Structure 1
Amino acid sequence: MPPLYSIGKVTVGPALLLGWRPKVEGKENVPAAGGVILAANHLSVADEYFLGAVLPRHVAFWAKAEYFVGTGFRGLVTRSLVTGLGAIRVERGGGRAALSAFDGAIPVLAAGGQVAVFPEGTRSPDGRLYRGRTGVARLALAAGVPVVPVGFAGTDEIQPIGTLWPKLKRGKAVVRFGKPMDFTGRSDDRAEMRRITDEVMAEIQRLTGQEYVPRYAPPRTAAGGAGPATSGEGLAG
């Protein structure tokens, strides 16, 4: 577990649990050991906070590359956070640059770690669940590990897009874990990866009850506002 993450587990984590009192369901579905992908809907920057707080093991998030190269004081703080928390850098330009995320994620999974991904690729602009990108399927097939679907609710009210600090709303956040999904033996052709991704998104929708939108979420610049903290991204596909 990275040093900064370890510090957070005994400081920020307990404070989140005590102050916000998130409701956690199905945590027994998350394997206690071994590599696992945590695939979640994405409503708020707070999703990462609560996921890390409720699980005992280190969670490595995919974080967009911009967080690793920011300038000024805010950029320095963000760079230090994502590096110290053991985040995995994701280039969103496509091609080999985007695939570099696997170079960081697969060793973590092979070593028995947990990697969190948000298949929608960005935070939902309106609370609905958008079409998933196939990065989650590519990673699951390449690493040969199960996918645990995760459903968040209420986190968008705690920290809406564009806000710097979370609002203290006790009992509002809900984190639900579904049963592990094993895709061993499935092919890695484009059509099959789309089917796998859709299966994962269907499980996430079952956990959240969100309205599903069969198209990719609009870029966050179009949706308005950018948060200051890490935001795991699904790879394009």
Structure 2
Amino acid sequence: MDMADLVYPPVIAFARTMFRLLDMKITIEGEEHVPADGGAVIACNHISYLDFIFCGLGARPSKRLVRFMAKEEIFRHRIGGPLMRGMHHIPVDRDAGMASYKAALTALKGGEVVGVFPEATISPSFTVKELKSGAARMAAATGVPLVPMVLWGTQRFWTKGRPKDLTQRGVAITILMGEPLRPQRRDNQDAVSVELRTRMTALLDRAQREYPQAPAGPEDTWWLPAHLGGTAPAPEVVEAK
């Protein structure tokens, strides 16, 4: 075990304990798409401040520890910072983006799994926004698979513009992974990103339609996207703002 990975396993154990205490109904499918060894990029949708926990959980059946690219501010937090560094996550400094990109490439070449939220920010519409091309570029530059992943249900705990509620019991969480893309250096990475978004959208659509729980009443429809009858803002409304 890498010395720095003395931090990650206890964090996972703590998270699992919380999942049990809150009686979460967690469904994981497609875990075979995360390689058991070697580098890989996981590209995940972003609907909650807790997404990195559940994205990481999706890679656990393959016994992989995901190194997330996360905002540099978290690394400056007095509690979050030491944890993030201890788990080998990669700080993304908006002013020095190339340094974080190179750190991610080094991790991938070293056989690590790097987690990316290619939408860059939480999607208030709970649909997949347009993706940045970084995930595709990193996979192409290092010759590793690009694994699409989606989460659903995590927004019910804590999302943008809503008060957090971390004590709800029995919430269903869906984690789906799809067939990896294998982008090459010569590919147009913007086109790869469009294909990635198409696959993520199909996975999310499935997760939403097969989700085993419904809003408790009219005031609880905020966590459903507009196209499924929820009160989350439609993507075009979000983009118009």
With the shorter chain as reference, the TM-score category is 0.7 to 0.9
Sequence identity of aligned pairs in percent?
Answer: 28
In the alignment, is residue 208 of structure 1 matched against residue 204 of structure 2? yes
In the alignment, is residue 44 of structure 1 matched against residue 48 of structure 2? yes
**Deviation, structure 1 residue 12:** 2.1
Larger Rg: 2
Aligned CA distance change for structure 1 residues 127 and 139 (closer, same or farther; 3 Å): same
**Deviation, structure 1 residue 26:** 1.0
Which residue does the alignment assign to 1:227?
Answer: none
Indicate conservation of the 8 Å contact 2:54/2:151, yes or no.
no
Cα distance between partner residues in 2 of 1:25 and 1:149: 12
In the alignment, is residue 6 of structure 1 matched against residue 9 of structure 2? yes
What is the TM-score normalised by the length of structure 1?
Answer: 0.78
- Partner SS, residue 172 of structure 2: coil
Cα distance between partner residues in 2 of 1:16 and 1:186: 43
What is the TM-score normalised by the length of structure 2?
Answer: 0.77
Aligned CA distance change for structure 1 residues 66 and 168 (closer, same or farther; 3 Å): same
**Deviation, structure 1 residue 216:** 9.4
Indicate conservation of the 8 Å contact 1:23/1:175, yes or no.
yes
**Deviation, structure 1 residue 193:** 1.5
User: What do the CA deviations read for 1:58-108 (whole angstroms, capped 9, x no partner)?
Assistant: 100001111223xxxxx2012122112211011123xxx111112211121
Structure with more contact order per residue of length (Cα contacts < 8 Å, sep ≥ 6) = 1
Gaps (5+ residues) in structure 1?
70-74, 223-237
Which residue does the alignment assign to 1:131?
Answer: 130
In the alignment, is residue 196 of structure 1 matched against residue 192 of structure 2? yes
What is the alpha-carbon root mean square deviation over aligned residues?
2.5
Paired AA for residue 193 in structure 1: Q
**Deviation, structure 1 residue 11:** 2.9
Cα distance between partner residues in 2 of 1:181 and 1:137: 9
Aligned CA distance change for structure 1 residues 13 and 104 (closer, same or farther; 3 Å): farther
User: What do the CA deviations read for 1:26-74 (whole angstroms, capped 9, x no partner)?
Assistant: 11121111111000110012211112234231100001111223xxxxx
Aligned CA distance change for structure 1 residues 133 and 215 (closer, same or farther; 3 Å): farther
Cα distance between partner residues in 2 of 1:153 and 1:64: 22
